[in-house]
Amino acid sequence: MRKIPMALAILCTPFLFSCVSSKKLKFVKAEKDDLATQYQQLQVKQQDCEGQLSKANSQIENLNQQLSYLKENNTAALKQLQDMSVISASQAESIKKSMENIGAKDAYIQDLQKSIARKDSLNMALVMNLKGAVGDLNDKDINIKVDKGVVYIDISDKLLFNSGSYTITNQAKVVLGKVAKVLINQPAIEFMVEGHTDTNPIKNNCIQDNWDLSVKRATSVIRVLQNDYGIPPARMAASGRSEFIPIADNTTAEGRAANRRTRIVILPQLDQFFKLLETPKK
């Protein structure tokens, strides 16, 4: 009876060992798979770390370059400051004088601008006086204006002369008398009388050409202003401009009529202008 259990025990022993080995094998295999998965994860992490390390190295290199650049700039800036300190020490007085000169020039420019404005105001006052004196005349026959700081009085020749003549008409003396009334009350003013013609040629026993005619007409006006209205001759000058400064088209009758004119130019008085710049004495 005892032999049967022992035999059963002997027969079951290999089966038990077989079951234990199979379970262990499965466990080992599962553990191996888990380790393989962890290994793959570690490889991914290693690659990520290597990428971050490379990026960090690049940033470090960039920062080192920036640091080197800043050091160079700092050295240059320090040198410039040293140079500036040397300049300020050796040339401070010169720089100070230069700044004072700049300030003086700026003040001069401001005074000049004010004086120009005052001169323009004086010119406008003169124009208004002239227009008031001859205000009853046709604007086409006499024109008074300011151009670039100069006062011009243009008088049509049909008011002053007969065609081809340089003899002043009686009507012209009335016009010139009104202009002279204003000019004689401005003793500091000097002026030039210009004669202008059209392009039609002229030549006779008394006149050689348009140059001659323009000069003779200018001197005729000056003689009337001097002899009839008492304007000192030292304040006047005569000029003939012939046909070469037209203000209209000489191919039309209207244009030629406009070009035949006598112009009185109020000469700029530079000495008077610069007197405006002088500081008034207190």
Q: What is the pLDDT of residues 180-191, one digit of tens each?
A: 999 998 888 899
Structural domain contains residue 104: no
Residues 120, 52 within the same domain = no
Structural domain contains residue 160: yes
Residues 164, 232 within the same domain = yes
Segment 233-273, tens digit of pLDDT:
999 999 999 999 999 999 999 999 999 999 999 887 655 55
Structural domain contains residue 31: yes
Residues 133, 258 within the same domain = yes
- Residue 231 in this model has a pLDDT that exceeds 80: yes
Residues 162, 256 within the same domain = yes
Say if pTM beats, i.e. exceeds, 0.85: no
- 257 contacts 156 by C-beta, under 8 angstroms: yes
Residues 65, 136 within the same domain = no
Residues 6, 139 within the same domain = no
Segment 68-106, tens digit of pLDDT:
777 777 666 666 655 555 555 556 666 666 666 666 656
Query: Position 79: which residue type?
Result: K
CATH number of the domain bearing residue 257: 3.30.1330.60
Tokens of 181: 């009334």
- 158 contacts 203 by C-beta, under 8 angstroms: no
The whole-angstrom separation of Cα 234 and Cα 39 is 117
Segment 37-70, tens digit of pLDDT:
776 776 676 666 666 666 766 777 777 777 777 7
Structural domain contains residue 9: yes
From 70, 87, 104, give the residue that closes a domain: 87
Residues 123, 261 within the same domain = yes
- Residue 11 in this model has a pLDDT that exceeds 80: no
Residues 148, 46 within the same domain = no
Give me the domain span that covers residue 2.
1-87
- Residue 172 in this model has a pLDDT that exceeds 50: yes
Phi and psi angles of residue 41, each rounded to the nearest 5 degrees, phi first? -60, -40
Residues 141, 271 within the same domain = yes
Tell me the longest C-alpha to C-alpha distance in the chain. Answer: 185
The total of structural domains in the chain comes to 2
For the chain, what is the radius of gyration of the CA atoms?
54
Residues 183, 133 within the same domain = yes
Provide the H-helix boundaries in the chain: 3-133, 157-160, 170-184, 210-227, 253-259, 270-275
